[in-house]
Chain A
Amino acid sequence: MNMSKPALAMMLTSALLLPCGAVAADDAESRGLANVKQFTLDHNRRLIAQAELLEAALVDYAGTIAAHGGDYASAWSSEGPRLAKQIASIRSLWLEASNHYETIEGIVAGIPATAKYDLILDAGNPGTEGEDVAEYDLKLPDGTVLKRPGNLFHGVTEPLFWGMSEAGIKLSADLNGDGKTTRGEILFDANFGLGAARALAFWAKALEADMSAWTPNREDAFTSVVVMTPTVGDYFGEWKESQFISGEIGAFVAQSRLADVQGIMGGCRKMYAEALSPVVAAGDADLDSRIKAGFEELLTLVDDTYAREASGAEFGVEEADALGNDAQDIADRIVALVLQAAAKAGVRIRG
């Protein structure tokens, strides 16, 4: 009889603790989801602020050109240093804006309600492509409407501002004043640039509105991680193909594609660690620890590679390929583990 009391006490305590544990996991999940949303909104707001600064810089640039009746040669000969400074400022503001977006891209693109903004802002194809088209038209200040021109960051503004789009180049100009005019030293189409910058600010605000309206939920969080994590191989592929590896000038000239990979995978890890880990750990702590370890392994690979690149290391072609394959392999493994967790939690993955 004496022994039965503590046993009873233990049973009661366990009975009380079990639901408490579940409630705690739910709380942690809710907090985590709210944190992820807040994090995304914070960066979204910084993106808007940066896009507005970019728009203002484009207004200045367009004003300088307009002051010369739209004659780029005349503007350059009269106000060369000013224009060079304006373009440097535009590029710097673009990088800031892009980095804010890349930080949240993994989350934005993974949530079904906001995925379209990723296509419009950063990842969509022009209308000439068959799939993943950025569904918007770009209206320029002179009234021209460009139908489905592609995503705003890497499809429109980056090639325009860095002179990779022949159609946008108005004048070759020695921007850095070293006496030579190399590729990328150009005055670009101010009308096009201003329209694109305005569109960036507009769509960044639209994203904020939808992100604010998004009700964080477990399904979207799982879907986000499962959909976005495996894209790492594609980004590595683009990195491999970019000028940093092959020496050819192409897309992604402003900065290494690894910066994007870092942002996107960081977003996926954040989503998992904050929003999903409490749920997974409550049901299967081992599985949770393996998924976390997987993200650590992936981010370590990305960080190491980016750090080496930043320090001037040269990558062989096979090494770059192997790094991409390794990253993809780890990502596939993470996703497979997350899918096991989703199945155990009874969550269906969309997409």
Chain B
Amino acid sequence: MIKNACRAAVLVFVLILGSTAQAQVVPWQDAEVVRTESAQIQRRLFRTPDAALRKEVEERLERVTHLWSNQLEAAYERMGPNEAHRVAEAVAAFAEAVSRWDSVNAAAARAQIWTAMLDGAFRATLACLEQGRMEDAAAWLNIREYARTSRDTAASIAMREALAGRIEAERAREVIEAELLGIYAGELRKAIAAARSHLATGYGVQLSAALSRAIGLYALLSDNIASRLEPDEGRILGDAFARLAQASPTDGQALHSLVAQIEATLATYAPTSLSADELDRRVRLLARFIGLVPVEYEKGVRDGEITIPFEYFEAGLFRDRAEMLFGDLGYDLAARSPGSFERFTAILAQMKTLVADKGDETVVRSLADEAGSLLADLYGTKLNQGGHEAALSLLPDILNEILLVSQAGDWEEAELKRLEAYALFDPDIEQRLMPRAPSLALKMEAGFWEGRVAEPGLGRIIADRSPELLKQTIARMKSATEEAKEVLNTQLSSSGAFLQSLAILLREGLEAVLVLACMVGALKANRMPAAGRGGWRWPLSCGVAVALVGSLVLWLVVGKLFAMSTLQRELLEGATALIAAAVLVYVTHWIFRKAYVGDWVAEIRRKTAAATQARTGEKVRHFGWFTLFALSFLVVFREGFETVLFYEALLFDAPALPVLAGLAIGGLLAAAVAYAILGLEAKLPVAAFFRLTGCLLALLSIVLIGSGVRGLQTAALLSATPVAWFPDRPWMQLYFGLYPVAEALLAQAGMAALLLLSVIWLLLTKALETRASNTPVAPREPV
């Protein structure tokens, strides 16, 4: 047994040794040492040499040449003899320059060494991947430059995944090639810019290094450049680099014009292209982000002060996102219009400064408009519109980011991203989806907040910090987004448009019609005059008219005079619903009192008799002008603004005539309902009518309080606790305000109890009145 264990141990040891030996085939660590040692030497060349310094430099140089000759050269020879030859020549040139303490030529040779080594390693990595030699490819990939600004890490991850066998070598090769080409193209531009800067300051050593680095990187990229640029441009660039290699470092004028020519030609070079779809997607997103900057900024900043920190943060975030997209699109933009490319760059930079300084909102707006016009000119207005297409395209990305930041443990950031995603969903997707697929819209909305017991929403999951649930919900939300995309991309038929228009009006308008009809019926039954100062017609008409005009005015001014955020709109809806519910409770109580208390006939007679003296002062006191006005205003205004938004959204997708027909028929149906209720007033006994309308209004007040609480929850002012026992049906939510959420249901139960108590109290009062009427005392005023 022990013997066998020893054998196994020896076997494992040999395997480990074998794998170590295999990793040593590509001595990338030595390449690192060559780079750092040569840099140390270069720094010392600035100093005045003495014996000790010379000795130190010689030792370091010896190390560099030794490592190249004995460790690296053979590996490079195997993979790329040309590059090996270039490195060898550069090492010799470096040694020669160092021996003469010639810092300018040493700097050039040092840059040649490193860029030629990068070139060889790049080609070797790709070749190894093509041959399926993953370990070698991974080792060669260690000799590289890394993304400085884009922070790309895809190549490292692709290599890791390929090593683990989770992706194909070919796929890894594509990712690695694209990232490295992008990095080296960026480094080439950077080297040229550095050369221009050193040319201006007259720093000869650094100029020599920058030019040599640029030439080396050009050699690395030359095949790609030839395939990506127009033949003429490629030739011009090739000539310019050839002349650069021959130019004297002291000929400032010639160098200056060569550098300028190279910079101009490189502005339109990108090592890889986006597909047409990807390009469209990015243009849409760029247009959308740049357009969102002033929207958020105007909400977040006033007169140089932050008014809403979240909106201010969003403005910066959208600008940064725009810049990231611009980075991807820059080559295409530059190819289409170099002038626009430069202007866009300047706009983004100016916006950054303005946002950071909390500068003038109007300037931010005009810059965004200018950028939007530039995009529209270059890519057409369709791509520039953004809207729900951009939002639908962007939403999955933000959902992924939520997952990513939560995995990194940054739940606060995840919450911000959730709100960012909701801010995209609400105006652009929900408004369009609600008329066409209300159930999906509600499902998605709940998904952004607390969700359901079985399917918790993002708000709750992020608050509870549950990574596993988050993953599932994100997947569900992404699939719902796909579903929404399908719905919204499907052309709406005329009949569909008609039905949806009808549904909007019935859903949003019926509630108001019911309340108003019940109230009018009750007032008529109470013999309250319609006309005149004390009549109901004037306050009710005023309330409805002001609400309709108010809804339209609010719709017009939002986005023009001031911006209203998603959460503010939810708050407005929630708050008006709650106030309407409160007024409705008062009205319901009044109606029940009429239904259960007192002798109607006697009271009406008494009132009629008193009318000439008191000018209906009693009614005015109990059911005043303002109550009628407020209730009619609130029930119409609550739905009015949203109805206008829904119709606006519907008209985007649907032909106008069927929509208008739906609106008209819906209006007629609502009027018929009102007529039927008022007709009941004539047919039913007064007390029965009051009981019926009282019950109807009581139900509506319960609906309103549910919608109001829900509105405050979606405005993030109230917490929400989903419950499993209550049915989760979109129609119950849409038409009856019954949400499977504890707070809303509790408020509704409280409201129902309050109304019940009101009825019980009224019944008790009636009993007391009856008893009192049997005793010989003077009649008293009704309560």
Contacts and interface: CB of A to CB of B under 8 A. Distances in A.
A325 B204 CA distance: 14
A323 interface: yes
Contact of A5 (B4, B46, B142, B356): B4
A321 B206 contact: yes
Given A6-B8, A217-B409, A325-B206, A339 B153 contact: yes
A9 B357 CA distance: 66
Interface in A29-53: none
Nearest to B7: A6
Given A293-B36, A346-B408, A318 B205 contact: yes
A156 to B, nearest CB: 23
B405 A340 contact: no
A350 B157 contact: no
B507 to A, nearest CB: 42
B410 A350 contact: yes
Interface in A273-294: 286, 289-290, 293
Interface stretch (B143-151, B166-174, B525-533, B613-621): B143-151
Interface string B1-41: 10011011000100000000000000001001000100100
B364 to A, nearest CB: 14
Contacts of B4: 2-3, 5-6
B353 interface: yes
B353 A130 contact: yes
A343 B146 CA distance: 13
Contacts of B205: 318, 322
B398 to A, nearest CB: 14
B463 to A, nearest CB: 19
A9 B153 CA distance: 38
Interface centre among B36, B157, B353, B404 (most CB of A within 10 A): B36
B724 to A, nearest CB: 34
A344 interface: yes
B156 A326 contact: no
Contact of A316 (B46, B145, B357): B46
Interface stretch (A59-67, A88-96, A241-249, A330-338): A330-338
B203 interface: yes
Contacts of B201: 318, 321
A119 B410 CA distance: 23
B478 interface: no
B146 A337 contact: yes
A26 to B, nearest CB: 14
B153 A340 contact: yes
A12 interface: no
A131 interface: yes
B569 interface: no
A7 B353 contact: no
Nearest to A217: B409
A297 B42 CA distance: 14
A130 B43 contact: no
Given A10-B12, A131-B357, A325-B206, A297 B153 contact: no
A73 interface: no
B370 interface: no
Contact of B410 (A10, A316, A325, A348): A348
B413 interface: yes
A301 interface: yes
Nearest to B352: A131
Size category, B interface? 35 or more
A320 to B, nearest CB: 9
A299 B32 CA distance: 17
Contact of A131 (B5, B36, B43, B356): B356
B228 interface: no
A131 B413 CA distance: 22
Contacts of A131: 356-357
B407 interface: yes
B160 interface: yes
Contact of A343 (B7, B157, B204): B157
Contacts of A348: 404-405, 407-408, 410, 413
A219 interface: yes
Main secondary structure of the interface of B (DSSP, over half): helix
A103 B29 CA distance: 31
A343 B156 contact: yes
Given A219-B410, A318-B205, A7 B404 contact: no
Contact of B203 (A5, A301, A318, A337): A318
Given A5-B1, A322-B205, A325-B206, A332 B148 contact: yes
Contacts of B12: 10
A319 interface: yes
A293 B28 CA distance: 14
Nearest to A340: B156
A254 interface: no
A131 B358 CA distance: 10
A323 B47 CA distance: 12
Given A301-B43, A322-B46, A293 B32 contact: yes
Contact of A336 (B147, B408, B409): B147
Contacts of B46: 316, 318-319, 322
Given A2-B4, A130-B357, A293-B32, A322 B43 contact: yes
Interface string A296-330: 01000100000000000100101101110110000
A147 to B, nearest CB: 14
Interface in A108-143: 130-131
Interface in B164-208: 201, 203-206
A321 B203 contact: yes
Contacts of B43: 301, 322-323, 326
A339 B413 CA distance: 19
A347 interface: yes
Contacts of A289: 29
B148 A336 contact: yes
A350 B160 CA distance: 24
Contacts of A297: 36, 39
Nearest to A286: B142
Contacts of B404: 348
A262 to B, nearest CB: 17
Interface in B644-695: none
Given A130-B356, A322-B46, A323-B43, A344 B156 contact: yes
Contacts of B204: 318
Nearest to A9: B5
A333 B156 CA distance: 15
A2 B6 CA distance: 13
B408 A339 contact: no
A339 B46 CA distance: 33
Given A318-B205, A322-B205, A219 B409 contact: yes
A194 to B, nearest CB: 32
Interface string B395-429: 00000000011011110010000000000000000
Nearest to A305: B43
A219 B410 CA distance: 8
A237 to B, nearest CB: 13
A10 B15 CA distance: 14
B6 to A, nearest CB: 9
A208 to B, nearest CB: 24
A333 B206 CA distance: 19
A7 to B, nearest CB: 6
Contact of B146 (A10, A318, A333): A333
Given A319-B46, A321-B203, A336-B147, A7 B357 contact: no
7 contacts: A3-B7, A290-B32, A301-B43, A313-B47, A318-B204, A336-B148, A346-B407
Given A6-B4, A344-B157, 10 more contacts: A131-B357, A318-B201, A318-B205, A319-B47, A321-B206, A322-B206, A326-B43, A332-B148, A348-B404, A348-B407
**10 nearest A-B pairs in the assembled complex, by CB-CB distance:** A336-B146, A348-B408, A343-B153, A130-B357, A6-B8, A319-B46, A318-B203, A340-B156, A6-B5, A6-B4
Interface of A: 2-3, 5-7, 9-10, 130-131, 217-219, 286, 289-290, 293, 297, 301, 313, 316, 318-319, 321-323, 325-326, 332-333, 336-337, 339-340, 342-344, 346-350
